[in-house]
């Protein structure tokens, strides 16, 4: 079998390579950067994605670098009242059959890269174009070299050139909101005596979540909301603590103390994409943010790209001589789910960032009522996101 050509070595592309290798399917991965790099801070790894990462053998490494939060709390921005509580930790592990971790983005990438090793990986290899004919596909790099394969997987992120090449150039949608992402050594906030929780603070116009990462050595916060100051869609754009404090003026002392202790702070504009009519043309197919870039309100972008990777590898393995059939099955299995999460994340925008105080009060009352509505402690949306089992989905739509 000719190799599967993977364009892009972010979390989605690397996961695709790992899932293909686990099934003995040949691949070649092309990443434009000279070294694998993840800038930024914490990321949430929910049960749906941990179930897959454990199958790849990453359960141990991720347990060593992650933090298992005991629960998720939603607190009111000013009074600090806890208005919603969802168990996580061992209770979530029992319920969903896989753990939930908070971890550092760079450490997750390092764990994936360690497992992958260097074979069949081409760094400093920017893909310039992809082509196909009745027999296969080819991928041409910026330096003019060409590689041939059975199919191309476009895992080249929100600004995917493969998406543009297949469906015409389009620009991502600016949501009007920005994300602040800050970290600090755990000792810097020792005085707050924080527990291992996902602490979410919801206010008017913005929200903030903070939690421990890096096996408890580092504390991390992400604040999302409206901002009038200009900002760039860049993982490495920095921000100042004073600007962040000004945007969170009047918030609970715990929130302000966390922001004040920040030693590294980034600020990026948030973009997503409209769903596509299809994710593929012939033997060229999209995956991860290239297919369904979403807002981070449900912390699912990377998780969905890993779900994509697992399902795509299974579809390819189970139809080795019929790439177009494999791609059709992959899209059938994944498009509905990933685009539901994409829509669900966009719908959450208003919930998290509403500014009218009366609306905020109504939202908070609804949350208090919800607490008693779900006897398992897990609201419907969470059940649907965390409960996904890729193998069960594959079994329901056999090759």
- Helix, strand, coil % over all residues of the chain, rounded to 5: 40, 25, 35
Contact in structure between 15 and 310 (CB atoms under 8 Å): yes
In whole angstroms, the minimum distance from the beta carbon of 71 to ligand FAD comes to: 17
Which of 33, 361 has the CB closer to ligand FAD? 33
Per CB under 6 A, 7 contacts ligand FAD: yes
Is 211 noted as a catalytic residue in this protein?
Answer: yes
Question: Is residue 156 a contact point for ligand FAD (CB under 6 A)?
Answer: yes
Please tell me whether residue 30 binds ligand FAD under the rule CB under 6 A: yes
Q: How far is the CB of 372 from ligand FAD (least distance, A)?
A: 28
- Among 103, 127, 284, 326, indicate the residue that binds ligand FAD (CB under 6 A): 127
DSSP for 160-199, written as a single string: -HHHHHHH----PEEEEEEEEEEEEEGGGGGGG---S-EE
CA distance 280 to 221: 36
Site for ligand FAD, residues 334 to 363, rule: CB under 6 A: none
Which part of the chain contacts ligand FAD (CB under 6 A), choosing from 1-9, 59-67, 91-99, 188-196? 1-9
Could you say whether residue 33 binds ligand FAD (CB under 6 A)?
yes
CA distance 63 to 59: 6
- With CB under 6 A as the contact rule, which of the stretches 2-10, 85-93, 200-208, 331-339 interacts with ligand FAD? 2-10
CA distances from 171 to 51, 72, 150, 239, 370 (A): 33, 35, 29, 25, 37
Kindly calculate the radius of gyration of the chain based on its CA atoms and give it in whole angstroms.
21
User: Within a 10 A sphere around the Cβ of 3, how many other Cβ atoms?
Assistant: 17
Residue in 70, 126, 260, 281 binding ligand FAD, rule: CB under 6 A: 126
288 forms part of the interface with ligand FAD (CB under 6 A): yes
d(CA 36, CA 55): 23
Answer yes or no whether residue 150 interacts with ligand FAD by CB under 6 A. no
Choosing from 27, 100, 101, 211, the catalytic residue is 211
User: Of 178, 269, 285, 303, which one interacts with ligand FAD (CB under 6 A)?
Assistant: 303
CA distances from 295 to 336, 345, 379 (A): 17, 6, 20
What are 58's two structure tokens? 């990453």
In the shown chain, the binding pattern of residues 41 to 80 toward ligand FAD, with x for contact by CB under 6 A and - for none, equals --xx------------------------------------
Name the one range near ligand FAD by CB under 6 A: 10-18, 76-84, 211-219, 245-253. 10-18
**Residue 186: C-alpha distances to residues 34, 63, 223, 242 (Å):** 32, 18, 18, 21
Query: What are the catalytic residues?
Result: 211
């Amino acid at each position: 079998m000719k190799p599967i050509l993977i364009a892009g070595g972010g979390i989605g592309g690397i996961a695709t390579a790992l899932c293909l290798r686990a099934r003995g399917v040949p691949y070649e991965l092309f990443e434009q950067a000279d070294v694998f790099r993840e800038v930024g801070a914490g990321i949430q790894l929910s049960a749906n994605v941990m179930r897959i990462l454990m199958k790849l053998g990453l359960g141990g490494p991720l347990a060593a670098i992650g933090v298992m939060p005991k629960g998720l709390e939603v607190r009111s921005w000013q009074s600090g009242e806890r208005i919603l509580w969802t168990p996580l930790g061992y209770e979530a592990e029992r319920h969903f059959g896989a753990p939930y971790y908070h971890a550092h983005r760079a450490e997750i990438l390092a764990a994936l890269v360690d497992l992958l090793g260097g074979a069949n990986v081409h760094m400093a290899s920017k893909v310039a174009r992809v082509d196909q004919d009745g027999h296969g596909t080819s991928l041409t790099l910026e330096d003019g070299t060409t590689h041939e394969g059975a199919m191309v997987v476009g895992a080249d992120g929100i600004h995917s050139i493969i998406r543009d090449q297949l469906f015409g150039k389009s620009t991502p949608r600016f949501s009007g909101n920005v994300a602040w992402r800050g970290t600090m050594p755990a000792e810097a906030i020792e005085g707050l005596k924080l527990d291992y929780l996902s602490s979410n603070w919801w206010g008017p116009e913005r929200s903030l979540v903070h939690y421990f990462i890096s096996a408890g050595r580092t504390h991390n916060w992400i604040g999302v909301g409206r901002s009038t100051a200009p900002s760039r869609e860049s993982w490495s754009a920095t921000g100042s603590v004073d600007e962040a404090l000004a945007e969170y003026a009047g918030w609970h002392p715990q929130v302000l103390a966390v922001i004040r202790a920040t030693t590294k702070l980034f600020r990026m504009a948030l973009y997503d994409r409209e769903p596509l009519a299809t994710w593929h043309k012939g033997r060229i197919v999209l995956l991860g943010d290239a297919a369904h870039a979403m807002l981070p309100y449900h912390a699912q972008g990377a998780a969905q790209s890993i779900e994509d990777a697992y399902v795509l590898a299974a579809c390819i393995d189970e139809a080795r001589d019929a790439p177009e059939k494999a791609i059709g099955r992959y899209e059938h299995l994944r498009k509905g789910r990933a685009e539901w999460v994409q829509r669900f994340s966009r719908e959450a925008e208003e919930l998290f960032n509403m500014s009218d105080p009366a609306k905020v009060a109504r939202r908070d009352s609804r949350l208090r009522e919800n607490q008693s509505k779900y006897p398992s402690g897990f609201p419907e949306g969470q059940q649907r996101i965390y409960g996904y089992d890729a193998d069960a989905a594959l079994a329901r739509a056999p090759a």
